[in-house]
């Protein structure tokens, strides 16, 4: 192979635009939720960010089946053997470069989506400290403490994810962050890989419609006019939250 070809590189399309927009929107809303929780003055912002996050999760769930090649859940569904193999190579400082999510990164995606979903569900049903959710009256028990624990777990996962991205980028010499901005990864002429197949247009329309619909539905619910827990308007009787007007 001529010297020029040996050093030639290709910019391969990996991440589609919807996936990249989801990724950065998710990060932004998690940060908003992170810094707006626990304060009466920012209760409305915290509640709104949770409802927007719900729409994002619904969108990503649909896009996980209809999206681009590397955005589909099937492309990075956890495989124990591949996870162990990847961790061994990371331990030796020679991890393989993956166009999509690496085996451990795939696990992180599912854990993050799951943690965000638990935070949303428990937040909608929480009551107290000025952050009463619109579905608090339907909760089988007080959800505030569960919501707090779920968000702490999410924070830990975010930190571990950032560490993993930094470590993988350094060891594999792969620009993971730039790729999630531009949608492209750089590969040598001799490295395997092709442009990723695009997702379904109909799937994209459905994902956006369902995601937006979920957020609009939550926004249409009556906003709690008072702090039930603090004012005593509601109390736990047995395993049910009872409210007396």
Cα–Cα distance for residue pair 98/174, rounded to 1 Å: 9
- Mean predicted confidence (pLDDT) in 165-176: 91
| Statement: residue 80 has pLDDT above 50 | yes
Cα–Cα distance for residue pair 154/119, rounded to 1 Å: 8
Which of 58-62, 90-94, 166-170, 172-176 tops mean pLDDT? Answer: 58-62
Cα–Cα distance for residue pair 220/24, rounded to 1 Å: 26
What's the confidence (pLDDT) of residue 7? 58
Cα–Cα distance for residue pair 9/220, rounded to 1 Å: 51
What predicted TM-score, i.e. pTM, was given to this entire model? 0.84
Cα–Cα distance for residue pair 146/123, rounded to 1 Å: 9
> Looking at per-residue confidence, does 51 or 144 come out higher?
51
What's the confidence (pLDDT) of residue 221? 87
| Statement: residue 240 has pLDDT above 50 | no
**Quick one: the chain helix, strand, coil %, rounded to 5?**
60, 5, 30
> Looking at per-residue confidence, does 191 or 11 come out higher?
11
What's the confidence (pLDDT) of residue 239? 46
What's the confidence (pLDDT) of residue 189? 77
Q: Which of 55-69, 110-124, 131-145, 227-241 has the lowest mean pLDDT?
A: 227-241
- Mean predicted confidence (pLDDT) in 207-232: 77
For 164, residues 6+ apart whose C-beta sits below 8 A from its C-beta are 104, 105, 108
Tens of pLDDT, residue by residue over 103-156, are: 999 999 999 999 999 999 999 988 766 677 888 777 777 788 899 899 999 999
């Amino acid at each position: 192979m001529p010297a020029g070809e040996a050093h030639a590189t290709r910019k391969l399309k990996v991440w589609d635009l919807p996936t990249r927009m989801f990724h950065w929107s998710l990060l932004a809303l998690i940060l908003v939720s992170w810094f707006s929780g626990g304060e009466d003055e920012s209760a409305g912002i915290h509640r709104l960010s949770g409802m927007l996050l719900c729409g994002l999760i619904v969108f990503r769930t649909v896009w996980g089946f209809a999206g681009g090649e590397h955005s589909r859940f099937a492309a990075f569904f956890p495989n124990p053997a591949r996870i162990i193999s990847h961790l061994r190579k990371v331990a030796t400082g020679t991890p393989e470069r993956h166009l999509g999510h690496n085996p451990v990164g795939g696990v992180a995606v599912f854990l993050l989506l799951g943690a965000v979903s638990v935070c949303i569900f428990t937040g909608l049903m929480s009551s107290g400290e000025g952050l009463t959710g619109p579905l608090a009256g339907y909760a089988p028990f007080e959800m505030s403490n569960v919501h707090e624990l779920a968000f702490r777990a999410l924070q830990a996962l975010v930190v571990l994810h950032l560490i993993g991205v930094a470590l993988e980028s350094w060891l594999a010499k792969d620009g993971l962050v730039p790729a999630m901005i531009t949608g492209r990864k750089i590969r040598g002429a001799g490295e395997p890989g092709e442009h990723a197949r695009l997702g379904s247009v109909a799937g994209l329309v459905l994902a956006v419609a369902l995601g937006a619909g979920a957020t609009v539905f939550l926004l249409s619910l009556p906003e709690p006019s008072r702090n039930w827990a603090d004012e005593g308007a509601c109390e736990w009787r047995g395993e049910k939250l009872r409210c007396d007007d």
